[in-house]
Amino acid sequence: MRLSGLTKRYGDFTAVDAIDLEIQAGEFFTFLGPSGSGKTTTLKMIAGFEEPDSGTVELAGRDVSGLAPYDRAVNTVFQDYALFPHMSVARNIEYGLEVAKVSKAERKKRVSEALDMVRLEAHDERRPAELSGGQRQRVALARAIVNRPRVLLLDEPLGALDLKLREQMQIELKQIRSEVGITFIYVTHDQDEALTMSDRIAVFNKGGIEQVSAPRELYEHPANEFVADFVGISNAIDRDGERFTIRPEKIRIIEDGESTEGMHTETGHIVEVAYVGMVTRLHVRLDSGGTIQLARQNLDSESSSQNEAINAQVTVGWRSDHIVPIQPQTGNKNEVLEEKRS
């Protein structure tokens, strides 16, 4: 799939500003960004629910920009599932095939395959109201996949689920995508969700794209301060006229007598301590200026050491290869950093 110069305006407001993007067949590709950044509007233009003011949407080399949604080889899964409450699970899945005039025998076969894929074989006669939120999400997925689209569009489909169910569904979505082999384009504002599920991620901001990269590249090498701040927790520090970012887990409190060879060190004092389960987060106000956050992994069940109390004087350190020089976000939304791929 290729988006070229895709633009959408609402009066004087530009929701999507001439973006260019290429998505490979079979990718799990995520649009990540805050509310109002243009990610959902872009998804709607791909689906055909919104018409671009300029630019094109190409699917398998064909310009589909002017086609109605039902004439595009794409299906959309929404956050609210949009299931028919009066129909059984099997009938909900079958409905689109019936509209497409697929034969009864073929419909039965494909519905059975879809139910098996989402592990709802034993629930085929139930109504949506009799299902859990996760089960209803699976029905919506099965209904979309059964039509065998080239591209499946998912608009924050897990937003209504609780945390544990959302994490479970993230794993299942990746597995389903691997089984069906079609392109998934996923919209979310949840950075953890994007990092967990995606092959590549486009970070949206103010109608443009700031960076396109694989999850690890995006996290470890943010293109600018917006990406560093939006994707994960990041510390921005100014030293010697330069600005750089470093992740909290890369910073260590240096113990007395510990070697600091190959590390940059600074002194400061702790201003906040927060125990959050797997890690303890500490905020340190540096004597050279600025406050940083660091994360200490809780490897045992003991409380924080006496050196990690409010107002304690500490020395912190980090390796030079863990810092990333950063620039302001791009002024020209077409200037996108994209990971080089062979």
What CATH number is attached to the domain comprising 293?
2.40.50.100
Judge if 31 and 103 occupy the same domain. yes
Q: Torsions phi, psi of 176, nearest 5? A: -65, -45
- Is 339 a residue whose pLDDT tops 50? no
Q: Which domain holds residue 62?
A: 2-225+333-338
Are 43 and 86 in the same domain? yes
Of the pLDDT bands very low, low, confident and very high (cuts 50, 70, 90), residue 99 is confident
Q: Is residue 313 part of a domain?
A: yes
Tell me: pLDDT of 336 over 70. no
**Shared-domain flag, residues 182 and 33:** yes
pLDDT of 309-327, one tens digit each?
899 999 999 999 999 998 7
- Please give the average per-residue pLDDT across 59-64, as a whole number: 91
Task: Give the distance from CA 183 to its chain's centroid.
Answer: 15
Residue 307's pLDDT is what? 60
CATH number of 169's domain: 3.40.50.300
Query: 195 and 84, same structural domain?
Result: yes
For residue 223, what pLDDT is reported?
92
Handedness of CA 217, 151, 55, 157 (dihedral sign): negative
Within-domain flag for 39: yes
* Shared-domain flag, residues 56 and 185: yes
149 and 201 in a common domain: yes
Question: 296 in a domain, yes or no?
Answer: yes
Pick from 15-24, 131-140, 179-188 the range whose average pLDDT is largest. 15-24
Residue type, 187: V
* Domain-embedded: residue 64: yes
Note the pLDDT tens digit of each residue in 172-215.
Answer: 888 888 888 889 999 999 999 999 999 999 999 999 999 999 99
What is the average pLDDT across 54-60? Answer: 94
Mean pLDDT of the chain: 88
Contact by Cβ (8 Å): 109, 185: no
Q: What is the mean pLDDT of residues 34-39?
A: 94
What pLDDT shows up at residue 302? Answer: 61
Statement to judge: residues 242 and 313 lie in one domain: yes
Q: Does residue 216 sit in the same domain as residue 285?
A: no
Query: Is 230 within the bounds of a domain?
Result: no
Same domain, 80 and 184: yes
Task: Please check whether residue 42 lies inside any domain of the structure.
Answer: yes
151 bridge partner residues: 74, 183
pLDDT of residue 305: 54
Whether the CA torsion 186, 192, 197, 198 is positive or negative: it is positive
Task: Examine the domain organization and report whether 219 and 242 are in the same domain.
Answer: no
Q: Region 102-114: what's the mean pLDDT? A: 91
Which pLDDT band, with edges at 50, 70 and 90, does 341 fall under? very low
165 falls within a domain: yes
- Exposure string for 198-219, b = 16+ CB within 10 A, e = fewer: bbbbbbbbbbbbbbbbebebbb
| Domains: count for the chain | 2
Q: Are residues 65 and 176 in the same domain?
A: yes
Q: Tell whether 180 and 249 lie within a shared domain.
A: no
Assess contact for 181 and 151: CB atoms under 8 A.
no
Q: What is the pLDDT of residue 171?
A: 85
Global pTM? 0.86
pLDDT digits (tens, 9 = 90+) for 261-277: 999 999 999 999 998 88
